Structure 1
Amino acid sequence: MIEITHWDEFLRRYYDKRISEAVLSGKKSLEISYRDIFKFDSDSAKRLIDEPEDVLREIKEALSRYVIPVDAELQKFHIRITEVDNKKLIRDIRSEDIGKFIAVEGLVRKVTEVRPRLVEASFLCEKCGEKIKIEQIGSKLITPQKCSNEFCNSTKFRLLSEESRFVDSQRIRIQESPEDLKGGEQPQMIDVTLEDDLSGIVAPGDKIVVNGILRAYPREGRQAKSNVFDIYIEGNSIEIKEQEFEDLEITREDYEKIMELAKDPDICERIINSIAPSIYGYREIKEAIALQLFSGVPKILPDGSRIRGDIHILLVGDPGIAKSQLLRYVVQLAPRGIYTSGKSSTSAGLTATAVRDEFGEGRWTLEAGALVLADKGIAAVDEIDKMSPEDRSALHEAMEQQSYHPSFEIVLADGTKRKIGELVDELFERFPERIAEGVNCEILRADGLDLELLSTDFKEVFRLRADRISRHVAPESFVRIRYSNGAEILVTPEHPVFVIEDGNISTVEAKDVKKGTTAPGFDELKEEFTELRIENVEILPNDGELRAEWVYDVTVEPTHNFISHGLVLHNTVSVAKAGITATLKTRCSLLAAANPKSGRFDPHEMIATQINMPPTLLSRFDLIFPMMDTPSKELDERIARHILSVHYAGELDAIKRNFVGSRIREKDVEEAMRIIQPPIEPSLLRKYIAYARRTIFPVLSEEARKRLEEYYVGLRRQAESGDAPIPITARQLEALIRLSEASARMRMSEVVEIEDVERVIRIMEGCLRKVGIDPETGRMDIDTITTGTTKSQRDRIKTIIEIIKELEGEGGARESDVLERAEELGIPKHRAAEIISNLIRNGEITTPRYGYLKLVTRY
C-alpha cells in the first residue's frame, strides 16, 4: 500500500491536469515521461527499468483511484512510459536485458495488418448452458478442459465472440537506422508487438523509438522446443522520431535566423553553394538539386486527381565524377532521405512488397522499399540503370495497369467460361465488405469463394484457387495479341506476356511483344505443353467499342499464372494485393544516378540513346544532366587544387584531434576548412527549407505566366511545319511550373516572379540541349527522350520501308538494291544497314532468303 500512495503523490504533483485532458480528449492512455519519474524519485525510475511489470501495475492502480472532476473509467487506461533513458542498439541487446524496460530506436521495416486478439474468451457449454470465461495468454487459444458445472462435466464448448473481450493487435519489425551502423555493417532487426491504441499508428518507413519490455520465447524445433530463445519487445509506447520537412520543429531563435537569411539578396547563391561544398563544380546540377529540396506545390484538382510537386532529377555520367557523393550528401540534407542502389535493392525493391509469412502469423505483412522509406523526402537511387524490371515498373507506376480488358474470356477449372469484367464486377457487388482500396485500384480477397483456375509451374498443370481479384483504372490504350491456335487476348500495354527466348520462358511487356515470337501454350486434349506462334500484335485506343473504365485481373498464388483457351497467361503481382497499400504513399522526389550503356559517353552518339533506360521511364524525369569526364587542363588544375585542399584540411583536423600537444592551432584548422565550409550550416538549411515548404505556397505572377506561355508556344511553333521535330511537350511545361514554384520558395517569396522563370528556363534548356538534340539536324527534338527515336530517324525509317515496298516482288527486295536506293536519297549505307537490322529485330520486315527483305503484312 506504501508504493501506491507513493504513486498517488507522483500523479498529483506532475499529471493532475494531463489526466483530465486525456479523458476529455477521448484517449485510452496516459503518457508519463521517464524523466518526470526520475525527477520525482530516482530509485523508482531505476525500479521501473528493472521491475517494469510491478511498477506499471502500481501506477495503474494509483490512476484507477484518482479523483477527477469528470466521469471516467480510469482503471481501463494504459500507462505509457516515454523518453526512457535505457536506450539500446538492437545489436547490443543481451540476455540480462530480458524482462527489463528498454528503449530501441530504428526504422519501421515491416508491419502486419491490425487484427483483433482475444484477451478474455467466453465459452458456452453446449450441454448445460453454463458460461465460462478464460483469460487468454500467448498466441494459442486456451479452451476449458471440462464444464465448471459439477453436475455436467461436458467437454463440448462454443466460443461466444460477442461476449468475449478483444483488443486490436499488430506486429511490426524495426531495423537499426543507417546512421547507427559502422563501415559495412548490416542493420539488425527486432520484432515488436503492439496492442490497443498503439496498433496502426506507424507505417513502413517511419523512424521511431519503441519503449517496452524485452521478452524471450523458445524457438520452435521440428520435434521439441529449442533451448535457444528469440527475443521481441512488448511495446508500451511509441515515439515517432523522423520528421518530414513540414513537421521539423522550428524554435523562435530558428525563425529569426530564417527571416534573416530570407532578407539576403544572395540567398539563392548561398543555398546552392551549401550543397556538397566538398565537391568541386557542377553549379547547374547543385542549383537543380536545391530546387528539388524546396519542391513545387502539389495540387489536388476538383476531380480528385493530383498534380505532383515533387521534382525528379537524373544524373547520367562517366565513372569517377562524384555522382554517388552528390546523392549521399543530399540524403543528409533531407530529414527523410534514403540512399539505395539499383543493383542491391532489398526484397521489398523500391516500393514495397506484401506477403503472408511467418512474421505476420498468417496475416498480410507489408515491407517498405526505398521510395516508401523516403515518403515526403528524397529517394536517392544510385545505379538506377541496373535495377530490376519489377522496380522499374514500380517507378513509373505501371503495376496498376497490368490487367485484362473486361471483354476477355476466362476459362475456370471446371470449364465454365466467363467474361472477366462481368465475373469480377459480380463478385464485387456480392462481397462489398471485402473490398480494399489500393492505388487507382480495388482489391477483393477471394478466400472462401471457391474460384478455381488451372495453373502451372511449366512442369505440370494443377488446380489453384484465386487468391484475390482486382479492378484497376483503365489506361489510354490496349494491346491485342493473336496466337497461332486462334486465341486472342486484349491486355494493358504493360501487362507481362510469357514468351520463349533461347529455349527459356520469360516475360515481356505486351507493347514490346513482336509478331513471330514463340509463346508457351497447353493442349488440353493431349494434356501437354505446346509452342504457339504470335501471329499478330496491334495497339488499340481505349475508345469506341473497346471503351472501358476498368481493367481486371484474377491473381493466383504462388505461380502468378493461369491457363485459359490453351494459353498460359500472366497475372498482376502488385503490392495492392494485401489491401493495405492505402496507407503507403511514395510522395518523394527522386534523385537518380546512372552510368552510360558502354561505361563512358561516346561523343559521336546521341546521349539519350546511351542511357540504359526505357523512354517511358526516362521521360518521367523533370531534368536529365549528362556528366562527362572531358579532359581540360584548366578545369583539371582547379579540381586537383580543390581535392588537395579538402584532404589537407582533413589532415590538419585529424592531427589536432588525435595528438595532444600538437602544434596545429584551431585557427589553422578553421582557415583550411573554409574551402569546404558551407555558407549555411546543414541543420539551419534543413529548417529554412522546412519553413519554406510549410508556409510558402507561391502563385505565378502575370509576368511569369506570360513568359512561360511565350516560351512554350514559341518552341511548339517550330513544329507547326509538319516536317519539324517537336521540341517540347506539356510535360516539360508542368516541370517548368514546378521548378519556378521551387525557385520562389527558395527566395521565401509568395509570388513566382520573372527571375524564377528565367532561372528554370536556363536550367531546362541546358538539359534539353545536351540530351534532347538530334545530332543530325542540330534541332531540339523531345522525342529523343520520350520515344528514343528522333524525327529525322523516323523519317529515314519511313523512307527505307517505302523503298522496300517499291522494290519488293514475290521473293522480296534485294538488300543491296535497297541500300543503293537509300544512298541516292541521302541516307548513308551504314545508317541504312542499321535501320534494316532494327526493323528485322522488331518484326517489321523479314528475310525470306539470304540477301532479300520483305515487309511483314499487317492484318
Structure 2
Amino acid sequence: MTEGKWDEKFRTFLKKYYWDNILQLANDYPDQRSLYVDFSDLEIFDRELADELLFHPDDVIPSADNALQDIDLPVEKSLEDARVRFVKIPNKIPNRDLRSKHLLQLVAIDGMIRKATEVRPKILNAAFKCMRCEHITMLPQTELKFVEPMECEEETCGRKGPFKIMINQSLFIDAQKLQVQESPENLKGGSQPQSLDVDVEDDLAGIVKPGDRVIINGILRSHQRTTREGKSPFYDLVLHANSIEYVDQEFDELAISPEDEEEILALSNNPEIYNKVIKSIAPSIYGYEDVKEALSLQLFSGVPKHLPDGSRVRGDIHMLFVGDPGVAKSQLLRYMVKLAPRGVFASGKSASSSGLTAAAVRDDLGDGRWTLEAGALVMADMGIASIDEMDKMSSEDKSALHEAMEQQTISVAKAGIIATLKSRCALLGAANPKYGRFDRYEGIAQQISMPPALMSRFDMIFVLLDTPNEDMDSRIARHILKSHYAGELSEQRKNIMSSEITQDQVDEHMEVVKPDIDPDLLRKYVAYARRNIYPVMEDDARDHLVKFYMDLRKMGEGKDSPVPVTARQLEALVRLAEASARLRLSNVATMDDAKRTTRIVYACLKQVGVDPDTGVMDVDIIASGTTKSQRDKIKLIKEVIKTVGERHPGGKAPLEEVYAEAQAQQIDKEHAEELISKMRRTGDLLKPDKDHVKVV
C-alpha cells in the first residue's frame, strides 16, 4: 500500500465515524489537540488497516495525523498540530513479557505510574544562525543527542560555523518522562514489580501523577546503552506513548462475563446469602460470626457521596480488632487482603509513616529531582489496607493515618513537593493490649497505646477475648485439628507418589475449611455490587437509626451522665446499612438492614464502650481513657482529702480517716486506693509520708 492510499482511507474513516468529534475538536482547538479513536471502530472499518496499525505503527500513525490535519472543516480553522490517539488497543502485554519481537509494535502497557518528572520543553526543529553570513539553517532533532549543523547551507558561505541557536525560531514540544510499574495485584509471589520508562509528549505531558492506574498505548522502541567503553550491544526499552487511558475502576478491573452475572444474581436471591458470605470469610477460623459479618460489610462498603458544597463523605468502613494474642486477628487481616481486589498488608513495626503515605525519593529518571513514591495507603486506593500491630507503630506514624481515614486523601509536603494523593481505602487494623492481655475492668484507651483521635475514627472496634470455656474450646480445638488433618491428607497425596489417599478423601475432609462461595466468585460479586448498586435508605430505616442514636445519646443528657456516642457513630450506622443492602444487591436499604446494623454496632459498643464501674455506655472510655464515673469519684475523693486535711496541721490528711470518710460516700477502700494512686501519678496529690496525703 502506498502512503497516500492510507491517508485517503483514514480520511474516509474519520469522516464516517468521528465527524462530530472532529467538529468538537475544531471548536476547542488549540487547547485540545487530540482526537481519540477507538481501535475497535477502526477494526470494523478496515481489518487490514487495523493490523497494519498494530505491527507497523510508525508508517500508519503519521498517515492518520495527516488525514486529520487535511480534513476540510466547515469553520475557518486548520488543525495543523492535531494528533490522532488510539485507545483500547487489544495488544495488551504485561511488563515482564515484553520481548524483542515486540519492538516497533503498538502495545498497551497496564500498570501504575511510579514516577513522573516535570514537564519540560524539548526541541524538535532547531534553527541555527550562521554568525558569518546570518543564514538560518533548520535542523530537525530526532536523535537522542543534540545535533548541530556541519556547515552553513548558504552556497556562497559554506563555512563550518560558528552557529548560534535561535530559540524564538525553533520548534519546541512539551515532554515528560514517566516510569510505569506493574500493578501489585498481578504479581506472583516474591517477584519484584518491573518497571518501564515511558516518554510522553505534547498534550499527554503532565496529565498523570504518581499512584495513578493507567493503560499506556504506544510504540515500543529501544535505545542503545552506552558504557564507558563505548556503545554496548544491549538496548533499553522505552515506550513512546500514543495515548493514556485511566483505569479508575479498582473493583471494576474484574471482568464479569454474562454467565458470572447470572450466577451473581442467582446468589443474591438466596435467602441465606448473609450466612453464605459470612461462611466464605476465613473458613479456617472457627466462630466469630459477628466479626465476620462486619468484615463482609466492610468488603461491600457504603456509598461515597459528593455533596453540593464540594465535600466528600466517605463510604469506606474502618474497623479495628483489639484482643488477646492468639485469637487469629492477623489471619483475618490476611484473608481480607486476599479477598479484596486491591489489598495491601502492612505490619505496624515495619511500616513507617512515609511507607504508609508517600515517600519523597531522589529521581533516577532524569536529573536527580525529588519525586513522590506512593505508600501502602495510596496503593490500596479503592481496596482494603490491613495494618497489623497498630499499637507498635511510633506516634508520628500513627498521626499519618488521621487524614487518610477521614478525608481519604494524603497531603504531602516534603522536599519541596506539595501534593495531595487519594487513598480511598477501608482500613482494617489489629492491635494488642499493652500488657499482653485485655483487662475487662480497665478502659480500652489505657490498654491500647493509640491516640483517642485515631480511635474515634474507627467505625467499629471489636474486642476479641480469649476466655476459657469448655464447650467452645473443644469445638475450636476440633475445628483446628480437622483443618490440619485435611491439610495433612492433601499434602501427603501431593508429595508422596505411592500414597493411598484418594482425591475423594481429601475433598471430603476439606469441606470443613472450604468457603461457601468460591473466593473468585465472591470477589466478582463484591465488584458487581460496588459497581451497580447504590442503595437509598427507606424512611422507617432512617428513623430506626436516628432512634437508636438518640437512645444512646440520651444516656448522656443529664448533667453528670457520660456521653455515649458521637456523630461519627451515626455516620458509621448509615454506611453499614448501605453495605448491608449492597450485600444482597438491593438498591433499597430496608428496616432489616438498619436492624442488622444496630445489632452489630451495639454488640461492638457493649464490648468496648461500657464503663466497667457502672455498666453504662460511655464513649469517653474510647475517646479519653477516663470514664465519667471515674472523673466524678476523683472529684469526691479530692473533696474528702481537703476536708480531712483541714482538721489536721499542714493540711496532711491521715489515710485511714480518708478511707473511712470515702466509705461514707459509697467509695470502697480498694477503689479509693486506686484513685489516690492515679491522682498521685497525675500530680494532684502529694504523699509526704506513707500514712498521709495532701492535696497540691
- Same fold judged by TM-score > 0.5? yes
How many angstroms does 1:682 deviate by? Answer: 2.5
Is the contact made by 2:174 and 2:203 (CA closer than 8 Å) also made in structure 1?
no
- Separation (CA, whole Å) in 2 of partners of 1:439 and 1:819: 57
- Range with greater deviation from structure 2 (212-221 or 172-181): 212-221
> Does the Cα contact within 8 Å between 1:271 and 1:290 map onto a contact in 2?
yes
1:182 and 2:25 aligned:
no
Q: Report the alpha carbon displacement of residue 645 of structure 1 after superposing the two structures with TM.
A: 2.8
2:414 is the alignment partner of 1:578: no
Structure 1 match to 2:167: 159
Which of 252, 261, 266 is residue 267 of structure 2 equivalent to?
261
Whose helix fraction is larger, Structure 1's or Structure 2's? Answer: 2
CA displacement, residues 695-728 of structure 1 (integer Å, 9 cap, x when unaligned): 3332332322222222222222222332222222
Using the alignment, how far apart are the partners of 1:65 and 1:776 within structure 2?
82
The one-letter code of the counterpart of 1:838 is R
The correspondence for 1:329, drawn from 301, 326, 335, is 335
* Rounded Cα–Cα distance in structure 2 between residues aligned with 1:815 and 1:230: 86
By how many angstroms is 1:125 displaced?
7.2
1:316-465 equivalent positions in 2, closer than 5 A:
316-345=322-351, 348-354=354-360, 357-359=363-365, 361=367, 365-397=371-403
2:478 paired with 1:625? no
Q: Could you say what the CA RMSD is over the residues aligned between the two structures, in angstroms?
A: 4.8
Larger proportion of strand: 1
1:185-208 deviation digits (Å, cap 9, x = unpaired) = 554545433334554555544455
Structure 1 alignment gaps of length 5 or more: 49-54, 402-437, 442-572
For the residues of structure 2 that align with 1:213 and 1:724, how far apart are their CA atoms? 70
2:354 partner SS = coil
Q: Which amino acid aligns with 1:790?
A: T
Equivalent pair of 1:204/1:373 in contact (CA under 8 Å): no
Structure 2 residue ranges without an equivalent (≥5): 26-33, 74-78
1:592 aligns with 2:458: no
C-alpha contact 1:204 1:372 (8 A) present in aligned 2: no
Partner of 1:160, secondary structure, is: helix
Cα distance in 2 between the residues matched to 1:137 and 1:192: 17
In structure 1, distance between residues paired with 2:316 and 2:396? 22
Larger mean CA deviation between 380-389 and 200-209 belongs to 200-209
Partner residue in 2 for 1:58: 59
CA distance in 1, matches of 2:263, 2:269: 10
- 1:692 is displaced (CA, Å) by 2.6
Structure 1 position 735 matched with structure 2 position 578? no
1:552 — aligned with what? Answer: none
Q: Which amino acid aligns with 1:798?
A: K
1:673 equivalenced with 2:510 (yes/no): yes
Look up the SS of the partner of 1:348 in the other structure: helix
**Distance (Å, rounded) in 2 between the aligned partners of 1:134 and 1:820:** 101
Structure 1 position 605 matched with structure 2 position 442: yes
**1: CA distance between counterparts of 2:622 and 2:258?**
47
- SS of corresponding position for 1:280: coil
**Which region of structure 1 is more displaced relative to structure 2, 129-138 or 300-309?**
129-138
Q: Which residue of 2 aligns with 1:108?
A: 113
Write out per-residue CA displacement over residues 502-528 of structure 1, whole angstroms, 9 at most, x where no aligned residue. Answer: xxxxxxxxxxxxxxxxxxxxxxxxxxx
CA contact (8 A) 1:295 1:741 kept: yes
Contact (CA 8 Å) 1:171, 1:192: kept in 2 or not?
yes
Give the match for residue 794 of structure 1. 631
- Is contact 1:777–1:792 with CA below 8 Å preserved after alignment? yes
SS of the equivalent of 2:239 reads strand
| One-letter amino acid matched to 1:752 | A
Find out whether 1:302 has 2:302 as its counterpart.
Answer: no
**In the TM superposition, what whole-angstrom CA distance separates every residue of 1:588-635 from its partner, at most 9, and x where no partner exists?**
211111222223323443333211211110110010011122333322
1:647 equivalent in alignment to 2:647: no
Partner of 1:697: 534
2:681 is the counterpart of 1:838: yes
Contact map agreement 1:215 1:232 (CA 8 A) in 2: yes
Q: So what's the TM-score if we normalise by structure 1?
A: 0.66
CA displacement, residues 353-408 of structure 1 (integer Å, 9 cap, x when unaligned): 3456444636552211122112222111222222343432221129999xxxxxxx
Amino acid at match of 1:638: R
CA distance in 1 between partners of 2:99 and 2:539 (Å): 65
Quickly say closer, same or farther: Cα 1:106–1:86, change in 2 above 3 A. Answer: closer
Partner AA of 1:578 in structure 2: I
Counterpart CA distance in 2 for 1:144 and 1:855 is 91
Q: Deviations over 1:48-88 (max 9, x none)?
A: 5xxxxxx3322335546769976676995467794447645
**1:711 and 2:554 aligned:** no
- Secondary structure of the residue aligned to 2:561 is coil
Match of 1:120 among 113, 117, 125: 125
Distance 1:325 1:338 in 2: 14
With over 3 angstroms needed to count, the CA separation of the structure-2 counterparts of 1:756 and 1:60, relative to structure 1, is closer
AA at the equivalent of 2:274: C
Percent identity of paired positions between Structure 1 and Structure 2? 45
- Equivalent pair of 2:654/2:693 in contact (CA under 8 Å): no
Name the CA distance, whole Å, in 1 between partners of 2:689 and 2:133: 90
| Contact preservation (8 Å) 2:357, 2:375 | yes
Residue identity matched to 1:574? A
Moved more, 315-324 or 585-594: 315-324
Q: Are the counterparts in 2 of residues 803 and 818 from structure 1 also a CA contact under 8 Å? A: no
TM-aligned CA distance change 1:147 to 1:351, over 3 Å: farther
1:217-241 CA-to-partner distances (Å, cap 9, x unmatched) read 65898xx989798945324466666
Comparing 664-673 with 75-84, greater Cα deviation is found at: 75-84
CA distance in 1: counterparts of 2:230 and 2:643, whole angstroms: 80
Contact 2:404 2:423 in 1 (8 A): no
Alignment check: 8 A CA contact 2:53 2:61 kept: no
Once residues 81 and 697 of structure 1 are traced to their aligned partners in structure 2, the CA distance between those partners, rounded to angstroms, is 28
Alignment check: 8 A CA contact 1:804 1:813 kept: no
1:312 maps to what in 2? 318
Partner Cα separation in structure 1 for residue 188 and residue 63 of structure 2: 42
Match of 2:452 in 1: 615
CA, structure 1 residues 32+770, in 2 after alignment: closer, same or farther (shift >3 Å)?
same
Measure how far apart 1:791 and its partner are.
Answer: 0.8
Whether contact under 8 Å (1:606, 1:775) holds in the other structure is yes
Distance 2:92 2:406 in 1: 45
2:349 is paired with a residue whose SS is: coil
2:279 corresponds to? 273
Q: One-letter code of the match for 2:677? A: E
What is the CA–CA distance in structure 2 between the aligned matches of 1:109 and 1:845, rounded to whole Å?
57
Measure how far apart 1:772 and its partner are.
0.9
Which residue of 1 is the match for residue 522 of structure 2? 685
- Alpha carbons of 1:335 and 1:647: their partners in 2 closer, same or farther (altered >3 Å)? same
Give SS of 2:292's match. Answer: helix
Q: Distance in 2 between matches of 1:129 and 1:399?
A: 64
Change in Cα spacing, 1:298 to 1:79, as seen in structure 2 (3 Å) is closer
Deviation (angstroms), 1:283? 0.8
2:202 matches 1:192: no
1:772/1:145 CA distance change after superposition, 3 Å:
farther
In structure 2, which of residues 564, 575, 588 is the aligned counterpart of residue 751 of structure 1? 588
Give, in angstroms, the shift of residue 742 of structure 1.
1.4
Secondary structure of the equivalent of 2:260? Answer: helix
Going from structure 1 to structure 2, the CA distance change for 1:718 and 1:226 (only over 3 Å counts) comes to farther
Who is 1:770 aligned against?
Answer: 607
